[in-house]
Amino acid sequence: MGYADIPKDDVQAFYWWNKAAEQGQAMAQYWEGKCYANGVGVAKDDVKAFDWFKKAAEQNHAEAQLCVGYALYEGLGVSKDYSQAIYWLQKSMANGESKANTYLSAAKKKMQKQETEDKAQYRSKALRGEIKGVFSYDVPEPITKNGILESGDTVSIVGYSHSEGGYRYYALYCDKYAGTYRPSTKIKKLFENEDKIDFRNLPDIDDPDVKLVIQQHKAIVDSIQSIRLAESAKAMAESAKKLIKVYKDNAPFVIADISWDSNSAGGIEVSLSITNCANQTIKYVTFQGYFINAVGDRCQNEIGGGTIWKAKGVGPIGPCPTTIDNCSERMYDCKESYTFDNLTFYSRIARTFRLSSVTVEYTNGRKLTLSGTNLNKHVRY
């Protein structure tokens, strides 16, 4: 009995091809793919056809490699991929399948066209500012007008170039910066999302359109900077006005930051500060006060006698701000802090310290003393 005596049966043929294919036979896997591709003995299924062609192709079956390349070229059972199509068609040709050459030439032309279209499309997206990069580190030098670029900042990447020396050049912009930036060669990864950016398809940083976009955004950044500077100047002016009012309301001075401490022998060290709220320079300031014990009585000085603690501070202590223009210049010069540690007062039972009078002598010779209720208004314990 010969093959001619066996009745044709596509379903049985598929059954036995499938048996062999499942056991890894490349020829059977190829014919299994053919059955699915043409609907012979089984329902037509391009996805399954591709899967079986791929299994055989990976075992170096030339005709299966041709089928895989063709499927990738046409998008049969798989997404179109001209690059992969070329790969498999070249392998098929190398294994002696001459038919692959026809599709190989077509696939190369298609890929060339697609690459041109992709590059043009990516270029347009870049020039529209749609290619975003997220900084992965703080830019070490202040390259911006509106604050240093920091890790997490998002910028639009408009152009890109790479030199033989390993340097990378980016044309980028955001509300802080617009221009060309070259990071150090030590920075291996400038953006957190570098794997999602197709740098090859970005236009060159010297492209006239890239330069125009950067120039336009520089104008925007300059405008933002001008607005922010104006807002900052306005805010500073408002703060200065409030500060000047505080000085005026607290003239002639404010005593604050009062603290004291005693050593094991009872010697007391006193610290305090004075803010000059007058428009005259203080030459000397004399502080006078007393200590109170646990029952509310004044403490006696265990060495010198008496209950008065007295100390003199030397200036100059500059005048307070009186205008917005001199506010930043004077606000730090009109305050002085003193620590009197010459230990002229000794008491082991002191619990509280109170100032009783403060006398200031100005450089013009004028003297002013505040005490009692008048002094208490100007003391911040």
The answer, yes or no, to whether residue 230 has pLDDT greater than 70, is: yes
Look up residue 161 and give its amino acid: S
**Whole-number Cα distances in Å, 14 to 228, 251, 304:** 76, 105, 119
Query: Distance between CA atoms of 178 and 221, rounded to whole angstroms?
Result: 7
Is the pLDDT at 212 greater than 90? The verdict is: yes
The CA–CA distances, whole Å, from 177 to 142, 152, 199, 207 equal: 10, 15, 20, 19
Q: Residue range 190-201: average pLDDT?
A: 91
Contacts with 299 (C-beta within 8 Å, 6 or more apart), sequence order = 290, 291, 292, 293, 307, 347, 349, 350
Q: Is the pLDDT of residue 5 over 80?
A: no
| Shared fold status for 3-118 and 253-376 | no
Q: What's the rounded mean pLDDT across residues 222-231?
A: 84
DSSP state of 187: -
Query: How does pLDDT run across 315-335, given as a tens digit for each residue?
Result: 999 999 988 888 888 888 999
What is the distance between the alpha carbons of residues 247 and 239, in angstroms, rounded to a whole number? 12
- Given this model, what pLDDT does residue 39 score? 92
What residue has token string 């930036």? 181
Q: What is the pLDDT of residue 142?
A: 46
**Residues 6-32: pLDDT tens digits?**
678 888 888 888 888 899 999 999 999
Partner residues linked to 274 by β-bridges: 255, 336
Question: How far apart, in whole angstroms, are the C-alpha atoms of residue 148 and residue 181?
Answer: 13
| Token pair 């013009």 in the structure block, residue | 364
pLDDT in tens, 102-151: 889 888 988 888 888 888 999 999 999 999 999 887 665 545 555 667 88
- Is 3.40.570.10 the CATH number for 3-118? no
Predicted pLDDT at 325: 86
Do the beta carbons of residue 130 and residue 157 sit within 8 Å?
no
Q: What is the fold of 253-376? A: Immunoglobulin-like (2.60.40)
Q: Are 330 and 320 in contact (CB under 8 A)?
A: yes
Angle formed by the axes of helices 82-94 and 62-74, nearest 10°: 160
Domains of the chain by residue range: 3-118, 132-217, 253-376
Rounded percentage of the chain residues whose pLDDT exceeds 90: 61
Q: Note the Cα 35 to chain centre separation in Å.
A: 57
Taking only the tens place, the pLDDT of each residue in 139-175 is 655 455 556 678 888 999 999 999 877 789 999 998 8
